[in-house]
Amino acid sequence: MDNILVAKNVCKSYGDYTALSNISLEIPKNCIYGLLGPNGAGKTTFIRIINQITYQDSGEILFNGSPLAPEHISLIGYLPEERGLYKSMKVGEQALYLAQLKGLSKTDAKQRLKYWFDRLDIGDWWNKKIQELSKGMAQKIQFIVTVLHEPKLLIFDEPFSGFDPINANIIKDEILQLKEKGTSIIFSTHRMESVEELCEYIALIHKSEKILDGKLSDIKKAYKNNIFNVGLEIQGAEDTFIKTLENQFQILSSSFDAEEKQLDFTVQLPSNHTADVLAQLSQTANINRFEETIPSANDIFIQTVSKENDR
Amino acid sequence: MTGKLGLIIKREYLAKVRNKSFIVMTVLSPILIVGMIVLIAYLTKVNDSEKRIISVLNESEFFQQDFRITESTSYVHFENISLEEAKDSTMSLGYYGLLYLPNEKDMEEVAKSTYLFTQDNPNTHITQKLERIFQKQLRQKRLGNLGVSADQFSAIEKDFEINLATFAGEKSVKGINEIKAFIGGAFGYAIMMFIIIYGGFVMRSVIEEKTSRIIEVIISSVKPFQLMLGKIIGTSLAGITQFAIWIVSASLLLFLVSLFLGIDLSTLLGEAQMNPDKINGVAQFSQPLDGDMLLYAKEILDIPWFLLISSFLIYFILGYLIYSSIYAAIGAAVDNETDTQQFIFPIILPLMLAIYIGFFSVFSNPHGPIAVGFSLFPLTSPIVMLMRLPGGIGEGGVPLWQLLLSIALLIGTFWGIVSLAAKIYRVGILMYGKRPTYKELFKWLRY
């Protein structure tokens, strides 16, 4: 029962086109789960199945331990990538309508909307029409409507598109706070910088298949190649020093600052030899930096996807 | 779940009735309609009051008493002037034309060489009227040659109308079938107008949700089918509101206009009765006798109003749901209104067919094979069956099995079409980009 959502062998195809093949995922409670993948990988289809907008052809989805059913709809909040609001309806009226569709009573919805409108500093928009607002303003309202009914599971599909950096930060902080309060969050995107910041777990979907999933830190560990960044302060001639190093190790790149006598290089080491290397280097030079390079989510993304494409 | 449907219906209703163009149409339409009726009444009156004057130069001894003043034509007789002079004076007096009867010995000869001179091509009403005058005299003369006296002749000339009765022995009157079909046709016509106007509203409302991209937000809360149903019901309630306002305000306006402007609206009806060409069928009972009038009233009261109105409601609801769900599916399939044309035409076709079939075939033969066929076929039955129903059910009317079969077919079609439309709708609302082909729509049904 530690998972808010479990997908087992979920398949979905549209005619001849396969959107999802055998997707199995476990999304833990109270974390931010990044659903990554290039455009057209099948992320949106998977999210739509969770929201019961469309249904899987085969496979099973468990929400909080029980098979996904219509009564779960009010426990899920969904901010789709293709989102909008009724242009000619007033902001407040519209927010009330959408909240009531999620099962809130009118008075409850009003109260919570007032709270959120004040919180995001948009209280005076209540009687405006959507067509009078900018795109970013409308996005704020969509965000509020998504989280208003305090769902157990929140699904954000590209939540930051359309926001300026300041408002994107406000929304990011709100998402983190929601997580603090115990909400589980699925975060679908292909913008990796926000993944690094927010996600504890990720799954990578590519061409309808899951090719990678797990804890982000574990995945990073698995993707380490024993490449190290080393900084040395050396005495004497750097040419010979580098030559000796190159004979011993696989140097990927190097640079030398003659004034500071500082040599920086990246090196590919055989596994489990870090201690020997350190000992050896410390005899000949003064080590001021020795660190393993951790691949970024972006690196992993590109590496895995291009590997899959080559296959 | 029903609570959500209620919310959707309420929103759709309010969105519609608050819409500015909807309000403008609601207010303006009765004014336009009444304005048009007043204009027609006025023009008819003007047309009536225009009296044509024809000058007659009769040099013969025949036809001396036959050109009598009527409502629309009067005759001025010239004497002792030449034809050229007569032409000139007719023109200078601004008369409609000059009828010239030369001096011949024989009536036949006179008639043969008679001319009507006019400025332009003469009105057929005038020529027919003149021809009738000549024909009557000629016929009397020819019969006189055969030994028929003038008295005998007028006895022969008496109009004759056949007496009508049903097999059950009830006395019947002419044209009643047409009147009944006309009443049913009015109901059918109302259904067609409602479908075309408010089906279009449903479609535009679906397109609006698609282009504003709110659709996915909403269907993550409610089922697409609920949204579609709510939209159709909400829009039709708005439509019923509008129709009700139109009927009430138009009749009120009409009443006020006739009161203040003094335009006698009954002249419209009177004119229609007088003129056989204007309303085919109905006019055949021109100037009925008092006894006949009672029969007409009886027949109209005899129309099974309860049956008619309750069937109207059944056919209206089912027919409207079928068509508006197709409209909703079309709205879902496209991204903008310009792409809807190729899909709309096939929907309007059966509606127009039903109206034409109704007016051309059902009017003259309400229980003939064509009328029966199209009153069973589900896409035309809401209109065609309503035209047949004023004759009642059972003997002399629509056989009960036909009515039941027609409704059963309609309900079956309703389920079929609504579920197909819901499938296309469900897939279509999430599809953006190019306009789908019929082949693609067919594929969507299997998603």
A86-126: per-residue pLDDT in tens?
Answer: 888 899 999 999 999 988 999 999 999 999 999 888 888 88
Cβ partners under 8 Å of residue A242, min gap 6? A251, A254, A256, A263
Alpha-carbon Rg of chain A, whole angstroms? Answer: 25
In this structure, the answer to whether residues A149 and A246 fall within a common structural domain is no
CATH number of the domain where residue A258 is located: 3.30.70.100
* Band (B272; pLDDT cuts 50, 70, 90): very low
In this structure, the answer to whether residues A150 and A271 fall within a common structural domain is no
CA atoms within 13 A on the CB side of A292: 17
**How many structural domains is chain A composed of?**
2
The tokens 């607002």 sit on which residue? A133
**Residue A302 is assigned to a structural domain of this protein:** no
Contact assessment for residue A198 and residue A171, using Cβ atoms and an 8 Å cutoff:
no
In this structure, the answer to whether residues A213 and A260 fall within a common structural domain is no
Residue A133 has pLDDT above 90, yes or no: no
In this structure, the answer to whether residues A160 and A234 fall within a common structural domain is no
Alpha carbon distance B11, A86 (integer Å): 11
Q: Where are the beta strands (DSSP E) in B345-434?
A: none
Look at strands B97-101 and B52-58 and give their pairing: parallel
Cross-chain CB nearest to A86 (options B8, B212, B216): B212
- Of A125, A131, A153, A134, the closest CA to residue A64 belongs to A153
Residue with the larger pLDDT of the pair A243 and B237: B237
Question: Which pLDDT score, from 0 to 100, does residue A153 have?
Answer: 94
For B413-436, what is the mean pLDDT?
A: 85
Residues β-bridged to residue B388: none
Question: Which pLDDT score, from 0 to 100, does residue B262 have?
Answer: 60
Q: Is B148 exposed, middle or buried (0-12, 13-18, 19+ CB in 10 A)?
A: middle
Go through chain A and tell me how many residues it has.
311
Judged by a CB distance cut-off of 8 A, whether residue A127 touches chain B is no
The type of residue at A268 is: Q
Question: Which pLDDT score, from 0 to 100, does residue B292 have?
Answer: 65
Contact assessment for residue A300 and residue A215, using Cβ atoms and an 8 Å cutoff:
no
**Residue A303 is assigned to a structural domain of this protein:** no
Q: Give the range with max mean pLDDT: A200-214, B165-179, B429-443.
A: A200-214
Average pLDDT, chain A: 87
pLDDT tens digits along B174-193: 666 677 777 888 888 888 88
Cα nearest neighbour of A13 on chain B: B447
Q: Which residues of A touch B4 (CB under 8 A)?
A: 101
Residues β-bridged to residue B416: none
Residue with the larger pLDDT of the pair B321 and A39: B321
| Interface predicted TM-score of the whole assembly (ipTM), two decimals | 0.81
Interface contact flag, B213 A89, Cβ < 8 Å:
no
The type of residue at B442 is: F
Alpha carbon distance A273, A294 (integer Å): 18
Which region, left, alpha or beta, applies to residue A96 given φ > 0 means left and ψ of -120 to 50 means alpha?
A: alpha
**In terms of residue numbers, what domain contains A280?**
227-292
Please tell me the least confidently modeled range out of A61-70, A182-191, B159-168.
Answer: B159-168
For A240-244, what is the mean pLDDT?
A: 80
Question: Which pLDDT score, from 0 to 100, does residue A155 have?
Answer: 94
Q: What distance in Å separates residue B33's CA from the closest CA in chain A?
A: 30
Question: Which pLDDT score, from 0 to 100, does residue A39 have?
Answer: 82
Question: Which pLDDT score, from 0 to 100, does residue B263 have?
Answer: 53
Cross-chain CB nearest to A97 (options B11, B432, B443): B11
* Band (B291; pLDDT cuts 50, 70, 90): low
In this structure, the answer to whether residues A70 and A167 fall within a common structural domain is yes
Which region, left, alpha or beta, applies to residue A64 given φ > 0 means left and ψ of -120 to 50 means alpha?
A: left
In this structure, the answer to whether residues A257 and A162 fall within a common structural domain is no
Cα nearest neighbour of A15 on chain B: B447
Alpha carbon distance A231, A291 (integer Å): 9
CATH number of the domain where residue A104 is located: 3.40.50.300
Residue B297 has pLDDT above 60, yes or no: yes
**Residue A309 is assigned to a structural domain of this protein:** no
Residue with the larger pLDDT of the pair A247 and A141: A141
pLDDT tens digits along A166-220: 888 999 999 999 999 999 999 998 878 888 888 999 998 988 888 888 888 888 8
In this structure, the answer to whether residues A81 and A114 fall within a common structural domain is yes
Contact assessment for residue A168 and residue A27, using Cβ atoms and an 8 Å cutoff:
no
Q: Which of A 55-84 lie inside 8 A of B, CB atoms?
A: 73, 76, 78-80, 82-84
Interface contact flag, B220 A76, Cβ < 8 Å:
yes
pLDDT tens digits along B114-153: 888 888 788 777 888 888 888 888 888 888 888 887 787 7
Domain ranges of chain B: 2-41+173-444, 50-151
Which residues of B lie closer than 8 Å to A, measured between beta carbons?
Answer: 4, 7-8, 11, 15, 19, 208-209, 212-214, 216-222, 224, 426, 430, 432, 443, 446-447
**Which two three-digit tokens encode residue A130?**
């959507």
Judged by a CB distance cut-off of 8 A, whether residue A40 touches chain B is no
Out of A163, A193, A222, pick the residue that ends a domain: A222
Contact assessment for residue B377 and residue B354, using Cβ atoms and an 8 Å cutoff:
no
Interface contact flag, A53 B220, Cβ < 8 Å:
yes
Cross-chain CB nearest to B214 (options A76, A84, A100): A84
Contact assessment for residue B133 and residue B54, using Cβ atoms and an 8 Å cutoff:
no
The tokens 């291009």 sit on which residue? A306
CA distances from B240 to B30, B206, B314 (A): 15, 20, 15
Please provide the CATH number assigned to the domain covering B50-151: 3.40.190.10
Residue B298 has pLDDT above 80, yes or no: no
Q: What distance in Å separates residue A105's CA from the closest CA in chain B?
A: 11
Question: Which pLDDT score, from 0 to 100, does residue A156 have?
Answer: 93
∠ CA A51-A56-A58 to the nearest 5 degrees?
145
Q: What distance in Å separates residue B4's CA from the closest CA in chain A?
A: 6
Judged by a CB distance cut-off of 8 A, whether residue A45 touches chain B is no
Interface contact flag, A85 B212, Cβ < 8 Å:
yes
**Residue A297 is assigned to a structural domain of this protein:** no
Residue A73 has pLDDT above 80, yes or no: yes
Alpha carbon distance B395, B89 (integer Å): 66
In this structure, the answer to whether residues A188 and A249 fall within a common structural domain is no
Q: What distance in Å separates residue A109's CA from the closest CA in chain B?
A: 14
Alpha carbon distance A92, A100 (integer Å): 12
pTM for the structure as a whole? 0.75
